[in-house]
Amino acid sequence: MKTKLIIIALAFFSLTSFTTTNPIVVTGIYKGVVEYDYVFNVPENGKSPKMLFQYVSEEALEAFDLESDDFVGSKFKVTYEKTMEMSEDAEGNEIEIEVLTITGLELKD
């Protein structure tokens, strides 16, 4: 009985660890695509750290073609979600990585 309970608990933990968090909103300047990541500078406390987004929803890409240079330098309100995925490092070890997915874009003035 304890074994079943442990298996159920592990299965639940595994499923919940990959769920999406609530949408997060930032405002940033689009810098383009670098090595498959969509790069935005997001001003914070007088600095402009880069945020790298691995995926963009189809709806956002239909509204704004981020693959072209047309929007480089444009200011956007970016809505995104964080998820955790399993990946392999250079040595073949499984690691958990954070993945950012843009779910919405709004062009700002």
pLDDT at 3: 42
Residue 13 lies in a domain: no
CB atoms within 10 A of CB 27: 13
Residue 76 lies in a domain: yes
pLDDT at 6: 43
CATH number, residue 26 = 2.40.50.140
CB contact set of 18 (below 8 Å; sequence gap of 6+): 83, 84, 85
List 94's β-bridge partners, or say none: 88
The phi, psi pair for 17, rounded to 5°, reads: -75, -15
Residue 94 lies in a domain: yes
Angle at 56 between CA 88 and CA 32, to 5 degrees: 90
Residue 11 lies in a domain: no
Residue 57 lies in a domain: yes
What sections of 21-75 are H helices per DSSP?
58-63
- Domain with 90 in it: 21-107
Residue 102 lies in a domain: yes
DSSP state of 19: S
- Assess contact for 85 and 96: CB atoms under 8 A: yes
Residue 7 lies in a domain: no
| pTM for the whole structure | 0.74
pLDDT at 44: 86
Residue 1 lies in a domain: no
Q: How confident is the chain (109 residues) per 10-residue block, as mean pLDDT? A: 42 46 92 96 88 97 95 97 93 94 95
Looking at the 3D structure of the chain, how many domains does it have?
1
